[in-house]
Amino acid sequence: MKAVDNVLERFVAINETEDLLREEQILRVATDQSKVNPSLQHYTVNARVGGDMNENNRLLKQAQDRVEKAVLIFTTCAGILKLDFDIMLQAHILLLSRCRTRNPTKAGF
């Protein structure tokens, strides 16, 4: 299981008791759906739009809408290459250059 799934599982457990976000506001973005923990599959973009957006272009717009409406997105570095965030927490700062994102330590954050 990926570390991102561990964090999502923990957030889901907290969210169930604290009611911080509605379930549809939480999203798991993955480039390979098969690597997402089976118990978290229903949080994935593909599950939310009812199919694989890579195999069905009609679902792409729905997927983009889901990403834009999500309040909290759980993903790996590979999953964020085409996404834009106001705030991003990155577990491994050395991966930032591979993701083509700004290094917050150099940006003064």
pLDDT in tens, 1-54: 578 899 999 999 999 999 999 999 999 988 888 889 999 999 999 999 999 887
**Rg, the chain, Cα only:** 14
Q: Return all residues near 101 (Cβ < 8 A) that are at least 6 apart.
A: 80, 88, 90
Whether this model's pTM surpasses 0.85? no
The two tokens of residue 62 are: 């729905």
What pLDDT does 30 receive? 84
Rounded mean pLDDT of the chain?
A: 79
User: Where do the structural domains in the chain lie, given as residue ranges?
Assistant: 3-107
57/92 Cα distance (integer angstroms): 32
